[in-house]
């Protein structure tokens, strides 16, 4: 079976080829407008970006989809979920933190024209449990309640790299992003007897000099929200059997050599991401979830880090379809096909050539992870297929993308108004309007600094 992936490239040279116009063009080409019936509650799931990240999608994309949903009679809301702590200074860990960060990043009802919702409640415990007998590793998942409650979901994804997942596409937007906080612990293998961090990481207490020897030892205790790390006078203790895999101690621990992460933990989490994505689709309803991937600003890291590096490849385009596996695979293939961007990590990692896998070298924390692991799992469990047909979509007519609040030609809009309130001062300087030189030496300025040397 082959899935259709509707596609437009990233070049823009007219109003109808703006990336915003292209996004809504592929939305319609994929038939997403037929999905929404009057009165439907429509979740628009995206990543609102971490504090100081600049790679996340501009709010105008979500706004445009929200407007489209409203024009079809639907009731849209834009949403993201609370995160695990992930680091000692996390910025989206509660609904309060998430809303503050989202608003700072431009996501508010004022910009979106609809509410921005934290989908899993104040502490990430508002969820809906889904049985998953077909899961590769997960046999249940916990979906953010507002997402599970929606009639339809549009998954709007910024396609990029990821330190754990290797890629961050549609599967990860739902496989992590649509899970409640306790759902995220599940996907990350918290307390898993084989793949959990507590079970699989190599612990080197001998690399911690304890309270006597570590000047900033306090952060080692303060970074664990469960209080499982204890710095002794000359070493460190870790109640590893209780570790929930929240990863907030990751940097303080591994930068000191106290831990060695396990590849198995990463690989198991990647398989679980596909499982949790399938669970989300089941929660909303098969055929009720539509996916759009914006393959632009393709940074090596996720939007959940507090910065965004130079993109590793140029902007690639806009992709839409019902099969998230096919969609992510199509984006991934385009990244492999593209040449790397000079001055980016692609150059530092020597993966600039077309035909070379970029993410595997640039994005994951550890070598040896496949950029297709999530996708392979997705195909095995029946979430989608790696076989796809890329369907090029024609651009709209210019009249279709005219200024929506008043699409009439400007002569019609302003002629009467300008007769009443004339902005050009025709009455001054014999109709020329302003006091200006009649003629100047333009060649004198139309030159370069180097030409004058």
Partner 1 sequence: MTAKGIENSETIIESCKLIIAGLDSQEAEGKEVLQSAIDILEDMKEKFFLKTNLAIPPTNACKKDVIELQLIVEGGDLSRFPELIDRFRGNMEKLLKHAKMEGVIIT
Residue of 15, 281, 86, 77 whose CA lies nearest to 174:
281
Of 41, 349, 391, 393, which lies in the binding site for partner 1, with binding defined by CB under 8 A? 349
Q: What are phi and psi of 160, to 5 degrees?
A: -160, -170
Residue 176 has what DSSP assignment?
T
The distance of closest approach from Cβ of residue 165 to partner 1 in the complex, given in angstroms and rounded to an integer, is: 9
Stretch in the footprint of partner 1 (CB under 8 A) among 29-37, 38-46, 298-306, 317-325: 298-306
C-alpha torsion sign, points 117, 317, 336, 309: negative
Contact between 213 and partner 1 per CB under 8 A? no
Of 123, 125, 228, 254, which lies in the binding site for partner 1, with binding defined by CB under 8 A? 254
CA angle 273, 223, 87 (to 5 degrees): 40
The distance of closest approach from Cβ of residue 255 to partner 1 in the complex, given in angstroms and rounded to an integer, is: 4
Site string for partner 1, 72-111 (x = CB under 8 A): -----------xx-xx------------------------
DSSP string, 329-362: HHHHHHHHHSPPPTTSHHHHTT--STTS--HHHH
Q: What are phi and psi of 284, to 5 degrees?
A: -80, -40
Stretch in the footprint of partner 1 (CB under 8 A) among 26-34, 270-278, 325-333, 360-368: 360-368
For residues 133-152, which are near partner 1 according to CB under 8 A? none
Long-range CB pairs of 11-14, under 8 A, 24+ apart, other chains included: 14/395, 14/398
Stretch in the footprint of partner 1 (CB under 8 A) among 7-15, 301-309, 322-330, 442-450: 301-309
Contacts of 15 (CB under 8 A, 6+ apart): 21, 398, 401, 402
Contact between 365 and partner 1 per CB under 8 A? yes
Q: Which residue, 36 or 362, has its beta carbon nearer to partner 1?
A: 362
Stretch in the footprint of partner 1 (CB under 8 A) among 31-39, 141-149, 251-259, 406-414: 251-259
For residues 40-59, which are near partner 1 according to CB under 8 A? 50
Q: Which two three-digit tokens encode residue 321?
A: 């379809």
Residues binding partner 1 (CB under 8 A)? 50, 83-84, 86-87, 163-164, 176, 207, 247, 250-251, 254-257, 259-261, 302, 304-307, 345, 348-349, 361-368
């Amino acid at each position: 079976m082959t899935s259709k992936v509707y596609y437009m490239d990233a070049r823009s040279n007219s109003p109808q080829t703006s990336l915003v116009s292209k996004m809504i063009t592929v939305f319609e080409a994929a038939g997403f407008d037929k999905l929404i019936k009057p009165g439907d509650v429509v979740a628009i799931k995206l990543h609102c970006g971490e504090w100081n990240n600049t790679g996340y999608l501009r709010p105008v994309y979500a706004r445009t989809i929200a407007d489209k949903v409203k024009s079809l009679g639907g009731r849209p809301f834009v949403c993201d979920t609370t995160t695990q702590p992930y680091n000692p200074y996390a910025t989206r860990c509660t609904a309060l933190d998430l809303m503050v960060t989202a608003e700072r990043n431009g996501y508010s009802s004022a910009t979106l024209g609809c509410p921005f919702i934290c989908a899993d409640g104040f502490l990430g415990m508002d969820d809906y449990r889904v049985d998953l007998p077909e899961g590769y590793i997960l046999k249940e998942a916990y979906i953010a309640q507002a997402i599970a409650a929606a009639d339809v979901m549009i998954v709007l994804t910024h396609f990029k790299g990821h330190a754990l997942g290797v890629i961050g596409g549609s599967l990860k937007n739902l496989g992590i992003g649509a899970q409640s906080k306790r759902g995220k612990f599940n996907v990350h293998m918290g307390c898993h007897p084989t793949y959990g961090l507590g079970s699989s990481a190599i612990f080197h207490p001998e690399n911690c000099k304890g309270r006597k020897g570590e000047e900033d030892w306090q952060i080692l205790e303060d970074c664990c929200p469960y209080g499982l790390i204890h710095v002794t006078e000359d070493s460190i203790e870790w109640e590893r059997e209780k570790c929930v895999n929240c990863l907030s101690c990751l940097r303080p621990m591994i930068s000191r050599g106290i831990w060695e992460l396990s590849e198995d933990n990463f690989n198991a989490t990647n398989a679980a991401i596909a499982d949790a994505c399938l669970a989300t689709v089941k929660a909303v309803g098969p055929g009720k979830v539509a996916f759009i991937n914006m393959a632009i600003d393709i940074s090596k890291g996720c939007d959940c880090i507090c910065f965004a590096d130079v993109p590793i490849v140029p902007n690639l385009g806009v992709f839409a379809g019902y099969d998230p596996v096919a969609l992510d695979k199509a984006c991934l293939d385009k990244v492999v096909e593209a040449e790397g961007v000079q001055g980016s990590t692609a150059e530092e990692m020597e993966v600039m050539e077309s035909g070379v896998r970029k993410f595997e070298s640039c994005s994951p924390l550890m070598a040896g992870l496949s950029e297709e692991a999530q996708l392979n799992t997705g195909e095995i469990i029946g979430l989608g297929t790696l076989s796809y047909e890329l369907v090029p979509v024609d651009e709209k007519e210019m009249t279709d993308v005219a200024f929506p609040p008043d699409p009439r030609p400007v002569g019609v809009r302003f002629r009467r108004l300008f007769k009443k309130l004339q902005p050009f001062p025709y009455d001054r300087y014999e109709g020329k309007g302003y006091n200006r030189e009649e003629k100047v030496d333009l060649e004198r300025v139309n030159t370069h600094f180097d030409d004058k040397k």
